[in-house]
Amino acid sequence: MTVCETCGLPQELCVCESIAKESQKITIRLENKRYNKKYTVIDGIDDKEISLDQICKKLKEALACGGTVKENRIELQGEHKQRAKQILIAAGFAPETIIIK
Ligand SMILES: [Zn+2]
């Protein structure tokens, strides 16, 4: 059985991640990279509280695009600002904590 390090409850009873998801300061913006490729960059999710790999996987599946986790941020190939926000909200993040730049 896995026990949460923060609250000491078994992982299936722990709500730390749900609470954390409501108190992030997330920004979503576009970045141009080499060869003028556009990337949607999601910044500000605390990787100590939330698994960025899991969120990245969810986004990639929903958007059918490539993506990576790099230096505490998620980079998705292509322009997905609005849809990425909707997916994060569906995953439990509070809408008011997500800012699109
Ligand atoms: Zn916990």
- pLDDT, one tens digit per residue, over 46-98 is 988 899 999 999 999 999 999 999 989 999 999 999 999 999 999 999 999 99
Per-residue CA distances from 22 to 25, 87, 92 (Å): 9, 14, 8
**Residue 1 counted as domain residue:** no
Quote the pLDDT of residue 98. Answer: 96
Domain of 95 in residue numbering reads as 23-100
**Residue 75 counted as domain residue:** yes
CA of 5 to the centre of ligand 1 (A): 6
**Residue 3 counted as domain residue:** no
Side-chain-facing half-sphere of 86: CA atoms under 13 Å: 6
Quote the pLDDT of residue 33. Answer: 84
CA of 20 to the centre of ligand 1 (A): 10
The model carries a pTM of 0.85
Mean pLDDT of 12-29: 91
Q: How many separate domains does the chain show?
A: 1
Max Cα-Cα span within the chain: 48
Give the residue from 44, 49, 27 showing the smallest Cα distance to 98. Answer: 27
**Residue 61 counted as domain residue:** yes
**Residue 31 counted as domain residue:** yes
- Are 100 and 89 in contact by the 8 Å Cβ rule? The answer is no
Give the domain CATH number at 81: 3.30.780.10
